[in-house]
């Protein structure tokens, strides 16, 4: 792995110099923040508002970040949990996490104009699930119960065609005997290491199980975990910008802790207690795939009000992925 380092000039804090607080070395992970799927989903909402006029309805949070959701609300988006909350004749958008097939079917039955902001990498998993069913395989789906992506993926196949696997103990408890009649898929926002262990256990128990050539964990989730692994061993504390209901952000906290750093999930700079940094000389900072760069800069600005901050960005890879918009919104 090639790691590039870029440093910014130190930002001197008057409070730090007068209080005798030591300088703070800030290691910023890259890649971090928005992925191509999140960029696409937000652009779909913004373009839909421009095309249809406000309000535009969005079923479920478009991405798991309150700052992003509130910003889109201010532009004319209305977020609902269920389709029956959408008035007749109003346009509706499905979130980046994906929805069961029953949702667009219900929208069609009501004659609603709808747009699908499902991340293309999640849609890829949906298509793989359909192929397993056609081939007569029962699907073992590695994921977290209740997550919208899991609900959406289960909704792509007939009831009873898929079993959720969350842990290694779940693998041991599976009742199936014929591995040739099984396939596995994974949620896109899981821990790379945990998922690899579960896949290894599945293949050991069911050598004939059918699965993707590589796990379905998306490139952005994987890249952000690698970036955290590059900085966490040098940090006494690491902040992950992200929401509590963001799976990929929670996984970054876990990755940092496994590398020996104390890690905390933070949504806004206002949540940070300066006392958390007592005795901390090196702080790590990253952001989940649904957290905007503005929140990262907000934290850095806040830190500079009471510590002299020396920023260093650690780049483990460059991301250039771009996803096409739905044909209804393409230029």
Question: Is the Cβ–Cβ distance between 235 and 261 less than 8 Å?
Answer: yes
d(CA 72, CA 167): 36
Three-class secondary structure assignment of the chain = CCCEEEECCCECCHHHHHHCCCCEEEEEEECCCCCHHHHHHHHHHHHHHHHHCCCEEEECCCCCCHHHHHHHHHHCEEEECCHHHCCCCCCEEECCCCCCCHHHHHHHHCCCCEEECCCHHHHHHHHHHHHHHHCCCEEEEECCCCCHHHHHHHCCCCCCCEEEECCHHHHHHCCCCCHHHEEEEECCCCCHHHHHHHHHHHHHHCCCCECCCCCCCCHHHHHHHHHHHHHHHHCCEEEEECCCCCHHHHHHHHHHHHCCCEEEEECCHHHCCHHHHCCCCEEEEEECCCCCHHHHHHHHHHHCCCCCEEEEEEECCCCCCCCCCCCCCCC
User: Is 312 a known active-site residue?
Assistant: no
Question: Is the Cβ–Cβ distance between 228 and 36 less than 8 Å?
Answer: no
Neighbours of 147 (CB within 10 A): 17
| Active-site hit among 46, 61, 130, 149 | 149
Neighbours of 278 (CB within 10 A): 9
Distances (CA, A) of 80 to 56, 57, 87: 11, 7, 11
Residues annotated as catalytic (active site), given as ranges: 149
């Amino acid at each position: 792995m090639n790691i590039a380092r870029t440093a910014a000039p130190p930002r001197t804090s008057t409070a730090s110099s007068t209080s005798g607080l030591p300088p703070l070395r800030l290691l910023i992970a890259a890649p971090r923040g928005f992925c191509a799927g999140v960029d696409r989903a937000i652009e779909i909402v913004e373009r839909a508002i421009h095309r249809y006029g406000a309000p535009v309805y969005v079923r479920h949070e478009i991405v798991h970040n309150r700052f992003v959701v509130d910003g889109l609300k201010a532009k004319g988006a209305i977020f609902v949990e269920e389709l029956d909350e959408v008035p007749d004749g109003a346009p509706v958008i499905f979130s980046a996490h994906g929805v069961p097939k029953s949702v667009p079917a219900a929208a069609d039955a009501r004659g609603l104009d709808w747009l699908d902001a499902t991340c293309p990498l999640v849609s890829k998993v949906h298509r793989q699930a359909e192929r397993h069913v056609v081939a007569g395989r029962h699907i073992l789906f590695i994921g977290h119960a209740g997550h919208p992506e899991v609900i959406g993926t289960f909704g792509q196949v007939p009831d009873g065609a898929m079993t959720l696997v969350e842990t290694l103990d779940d693998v041991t408890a599976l009742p199936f005997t014929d591995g040739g009649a099984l396939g596995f898929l994974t949620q896109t926002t899981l821990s790379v290491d945990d998922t690899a262990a579960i896949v290894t256990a599945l293949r050991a128990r069911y050598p004939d199980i059918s699965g993707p050539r590589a796990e379905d964990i998306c490139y952005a989730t994987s890249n952000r975990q690698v970036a955290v692994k590059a900085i966490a061993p040098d940090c006494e504390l690491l902040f992950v910008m992200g929401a509590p209901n963001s799976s990929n952000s929670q996984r970054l906290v876990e990755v940092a802790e496994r590398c020996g750093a104390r890690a905390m999930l933070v949504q806004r700079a206002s949540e940070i207690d300066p006392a958390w940094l007592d005795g901390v000389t090196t702080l790590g900072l990253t952001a989940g795939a649904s957290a905007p760069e503005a929140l990262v800069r907000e934290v850095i600005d806040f830190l500079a009000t009471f510590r002299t901050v020396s920023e260093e960005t650690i780049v483990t890879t460059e991301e250039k992925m771009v996803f096409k918009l739905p044909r209804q919104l393409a230029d």
